[in-house]
Amino acid sequence: MIYVILIGYILPMLVNAIYLYKDETVKTIGDFLENSWTAVIPMINFFLMCLIPLTYIIDLLEDRFDIQSMWKNLMNKKIKKQKL
């Protein structure tokens, strides 16, 4: 699966960015950024593709466990015993 992502997503983005950088008409950062949407949009899509399953996993964990009370209990645990 990772090879599909690398070959189908990351590689074209890198090739496009290198092509834009090597282009003779691109002389400033502004020129590069004019066409950089072709490299940025796939990166945003990749980020969202990773973010969506994470949100479902977090929702699943919140439904199964009461994370707020578990966190409060963890923060209220005593780490040192009081001396008498």
Could you state, in order of their start, the residue ranges of all structural domains in the chain? Answer: 36-66
What pLDDT score was predicted for residue 48? 82
Which amino acid, residue 36? S
What pLDDT score was predicted for residue 21? 82
Between CA 50 and CA 84 the distance in angstroms is: 53
- Over range 43-52, report the average pLDDT: 82
Q: Are 44 and 50 in contact (CB under 8 A)?
A: no
Secondary structure (3-state) at 44: helix
Asked whether residue 54 carries a pLDDT value surpassing 80, the answer given is: yes
Secondary structure (3-state) at 49: helix
- Token code pair at residue 74: 């963890």
Q: How many CB atoms lie within 10 A of CB 17?
A: 17
Secondary structure tally for the chain: helices H, strands E? 5, 0
